[in-house]
Amino acid sequence: MALQPSLSPFVIGPYAAPHTLEFFYDIVCPFSKKSYANIRTVLEPQFINEKYRDKLKIIIRLQPQPWHVASHFCHEAVLAVARVAPDQLLNYLDVLYPVNETFYDIPASTLTPVQIREKLADIAEPVIGSERVAAVKELLKHKSTPNGGVAVTEELKYSIKVSRQNSIHTSPTVLWDGLIQEQVSSSWGEKEWTDFFNAKVSA
């Protein structure tokens, strides 16, 4: 498991836990949405916080899919919230995923990049407050150089490079201790995860 320090808010559970479960997600992917909901309702309360409290951590990895027109804007916003309000990152994802269809290809096709970024920041306001939303919007503004991206572009590049070097193609993709687990489904519930951990957790 490797993670640059600025992305530490994407870790759920103790950073030093011996086992790592990684989820590569696209914000506008319906299967990522379903899988993320399972993290919050099944994995986090029952396994991360209870049964395997000191043995297991989750890393959420960002994997924008380029065929979705608004995908990288969504991930920029998530990274901006992670920088400005790291303590509220998961709460932002909790409110962003339920409305992710707003940023599907057809709904987003009539919006400019500036409008998309504005909408994404506004979704965060009930979670992080108006002052920190203003800081998020500043991070999502273009740099002065014509092709330099925004303030969180380097974190986005890092996330994409991690996906590429691990040959991650679909979202969600799940890794256990660095190895892809093809059998894991976004529909898994308590029973499937219990069976998985019973077979995998050894320390």
The angle subtended at Cα 160 by Cα 105 and Cα 152, nearest 5°, is: 85
The radius of gyration of the chain from alpha carbons, rounded to an integer in Å, stands at: 17
- List, in order, residues 6 or more apart from 20 with CB less than 8 Å away: 1, 56, 57, 58, 59, 175, 176, 177, 178
Per-residue pLDDT tens for 89-136? 999 999 999 999 999 999 999 999 999 999 999 999 999 999 999 999
- Cis (ω within 30 of 0) for the bond into 64? no
User: Do the beta carbons of residue 137 and residue 73 sit within 8 Å?
Assistant: no
Per-residue pLDDT tens for 177-198? 999 999 999 999 999 999 999 9
The answer to pTM > 0.85 is: yes
Set out the domains of the chain in order of their start, with CATH numbers.
5-200 (3.40.30.10)
- Kindly list the strands in the beta sheet with 173-176, ordered across the sheet, starting from the edge strand earlier in the chain: 11-12, 56-62, 19-25, 173-176, 179-180
